[in-house]
A and B are shown apart, each in its own frame.
Chain A
Amino acid sequence: MKRTHLAAALAVVLTLAACSTKAGDSGSSGSDSSGVKTGKGVTATEVTLGVMTDKSGVFKNLGLGVTQGNELWAKDFNAAGGACGRQVKLEEVDHGYKADTAKTLYPQIEPKVLGFVQLLGSPVVAALKQNLATDKAVAAPASWSSELLDNPYVMIVGTTYDVEMIDGLAYLQEQGLIKDGDTIGHVYIDGEYGKNGLRGSQFYAKKHNLTVKEVKITSTDSDLTNVVTGLKGAGVKAIALTTTPAQTGSAVAANKALGLNVPVLGNNPTFDPALLKSPAAGALDKLTVVASSVPFSADLPKAKDVAAKYKAAYKETPNGGVPYGYAVGEVWGAVLKKACDNKDLTRDGIAAALKQTTSVSTDDLVAALDFSKPGTPATRQVYAATPDATAEGGVRYVKPLFEAPEAKEYVAPHQK
């Protein structure tokens, strides 16, 4: 008995010895014939960009939309010739919005890509922050928190939640819905997202002598009736939301049900077209959403072009993630082209090119972006929009791209 077990153990050890170890696996680097330095994720014919998205978890609709936007961009970019004569290839993995899955999948995808065109989910981004810095991989997270800007490898396409909130409050004041000295409520999710939005409303409040009644919730809380009851008791003249769409629905419904009926302002992720079919639909007229990327249905030429291409290629119901994913692609395209001009398609080259990108145009899908000042949001302009069941994508905008003077003065947390 002993002998057979020893024999088995020996066999295992021998097999292991026979299999080759991974010694000698080296990275790919060097330069090509035209003198362009290449690194991970770059071959003679292709540049690979990573997509770590949610295809199966709670944000799969958004993830799908953004991914499809990325794919549409890649197709167009390649048709126009690509970068340095190379075509863009997208390597997609699904982490299901779980930080631990993302953490394990990351080492699998990282060696294959030059950078990331999509990194969805703030828990995922938080978990991978260190890794991105260590591996010097530029990534475009689908998260707009200015807290992320302390990492020079993070590329936020659009403005951040705090600036959105400032612009939005300025819009409400401009419309005469709030005035100096009022009390407003701000319901926010405890986390990167919510705290960042709160920072914006606190800044604006100080400038205009507003009192902010802050209510912290978690992302799984679904019933905000008690919260709105409390806000009503405090006499708020407006409610700001940095919440999930479901929570937005509960808040606007309570706003109407309790007879409060004040204007409600939400950051860009607070709205989802599905709300128009929920019992809260009748209360959505009080909601204004601010975002730096256009709604799917915007009647801008590029947005229409993307919408048409989308409908030709995919059959799912579109959402705002599509034009956003396309816009991120366009920014990557500009960075790739610049890196090509600098003859450096390595990770360092991309980071350097990003810093040199002072003005990227996405044909108004997103406001003009400037990545040259680390720690600062790339733009401070937003659209203001309101839910509209008749519009494709569920919103129509009520004020095109604008930037409030308070937003210009605002200093983001990592701004130098």
Chain B
Amino acid sequence: MSDSAVSEVDTLPETAEPARPRRDPAKLVRTAAWLALLVVLLALPLYLDAAWLKAGQYMMIGAVGAIGLTLVVGQAGQLSLAHAFFLLAGGTAYTVLSGPTGDDRVIGFGLDPGLSLLGAVAVAALLGLAFAPVAGRLRGIYLGVASLALVFLGLYFGQSAEELTGGTSTGRTPAPFSLFGFPFTNDGPQLALLGVPIRAAERMWYLFLLLTVIAFVIARGAAGGRVGRSWRAVRDNEAAAAVMGVSVLRAKAGAFAVSSAYGGLAGAMTVLWFDILKPDESEFGTYGINVSIAFLAMVIIGGLGSVPGALVGALIVNGLPQVLALYSADLGWFSGTGDGALTPVLVSSFVYGAAIILVVLFEPGGLAAIGRRITQRRFRRQPPEEP
């Protein structure tokens, strides 16, 4: 649930004070906090090595995908396990659109990478729209399992359509990203910020950061606006929503389209991160159901429907294994090699599995609800908000 939507509902005019909204200090602090975070993120490439930047970029991919998923699952109440499919679609679309035209093994359209990125998002959104009629007929868990089917089917087609994806055997390399001619690799103009050379890793960091910020702002806007309200109405009671004049089918279709667009963006970011598009395993690969489940975990942990929560969820689920792997290389943890050794991936899986259980047991609103409770206590002068 979105804070700003709630705030619009229960602000009553105060007789004693002039018409200054009560939440002013809280909102200002919150915005200041977000800005401070942004400043820190902008400055990080000056301090972190390429390996850590790489890990951070991976977390941002998770963030973009998770934001999309939390909108469709949390705001619109549609359980989707198909996110991995949209990642694959977006990654393939980006690679095909921006790929070289002359290659005889794979198809490419030679478009500008920036346009290809937009194209990838559009393609994914269209696929989401295409699935929406099916989604409209199904309820609850039936929808969840049906969406699982998309992942399997998507991978099957991805693996068969070798002219598009390069096949499972070799895959294909996506065009390196460039914006208005400025390449996001080590080539092009040699930039330096405060003496730190801005090369591929740093440039990709800034690119991903920009994409994440855009994704975040749009999502917050959608959740707080009319669209978000219609989604929540459909989620809470379809019949009542229909009675109130919300077109249920349109709302559901819109939710799917938006979330798949986000998935497509995350997919394009994924192939840029890996420097390769390769549709591999259906059960524990880059586009398999394990990925759909990971995104769902991010969304549950963060709090269904909460966009900031999705960010934190992504940090935990995508970030933890990377961070542990990097630390273990440095500190020599997890160096056991025998049967049953603990590994970063294993530990992270335990952590997020446990986190899901704890969240559902004790705080189904996820970290977002916990965060709200903490901020409420800080502002005890005002009456507590309805969660």
Contact = CB atoms under 8 A, between A and B. Distances in A.
Given A9-B36, A134-B186, A104 B169 contact: no
Interface stretch (A69-77, A191-199, A200-208, A228-236): A191-199
Nearest to A199: B169
16 contacts: A5-B29, A5-B36, A9-B36, A16-B43, A16-B47, A21-B194, A94-B334, A101-B321, A104-B54, A104-B55, A107-B49, A107-B54, A130-B173, A190-B159, A192-B169, A220-B282
B381 to A, nearest CB: 10
Given A2-B28, A94-B334, A107-B51, A129 B326 contact: no
B167 A195 contact: yes
Contacts of B137: none
Interface in B190-231: 192, 194-197, 201
Given A55-B341, A101-B345, A109 B329 contact: yes
Interface in B1-44: 25, 28-29, 32-33, 36, 39-40, 43
B325 interface: yes
Given A21-B46, A96-B343, A2 B32 contact: yes
Contacts of A126: 170-171, 276, 278
Residue from the set B28, B168, B282, B378 with the largest chain A CB neighbour count within 10 Å:
B168
Contacts of A8: 36
A326 to B, nearest CB: 19
Nearest to B61: A100
B306 interface: no
A8 to B, nearest CB: 8
Residue from the set B33, B36, B186 with the largest chain A CB neighbour count within 10 Å:
B36
Interface of B is mostly: helix
Interface of A is mostly: helix
A22 interface: yes
Contact of A127 (B25, B43, B167, B275): B275
A45 to B, nearest CB: 23
Q: Interface residue tally of chain B, by bracket?
A: 35 or more
Given A21-B194, A108-B329, A103 B46 contact: no
Contacts of A98: 345
A130 B173 CA distance: 8
Contacts of A13: 36, 39-40, 43
Interface of A: 1-2, 5-6, 8-9, 12-13, 16, 19, 21-24, 55-57, 60, 64, 93-96, 98-101, 103-109, 123, 126-127, 129-131, 134, 147, 190-192, 194-196, 218-220
Contact of B47 (A22, A196, A220): A22
Given A1-B29, A13-B40, A56-B346, 12 more contacts: A9-B39, A23-B197, A94-B343, A99-B286, A105-B329, A123-B280, A126-B278, A130-B173, A130-B276, A192-B168, A196-B169, A220-B283
A60 B337 contact: yes
A219 B155 CA distance: 14
B282 A218 contact: yes
B325 A105 contact: yes
Contact of A104 (B29, B186, B278, B322): B322
B379 to A, nearest CB: 7
B184 interface: no
The 10 closest A-B pairs by CB, nearest first: A23-B195, A108-B51, A9-B36, A107-B50, A195-B169, A56-B343, A130-B275, A21-B46, A107-B51, A23-B196
B377 to A, nearest CB: 12
A409 B335 CA distance: 46
A106 B345 CA distance: 17
Contacts of A134: 186
B343 A191 contact: no
A321 B341 CA distance: 20
Contacts of B40: 12-13, 16
Contacts of A131: 275
B137 to A, nearest CB: 31
A108 B326 contact: yes
B204 to A, nearest CB: 11
B195 A24 contact: yes
A96 B32 contact: no
B29 A9 contact: no
Contacts of B196: 21-23
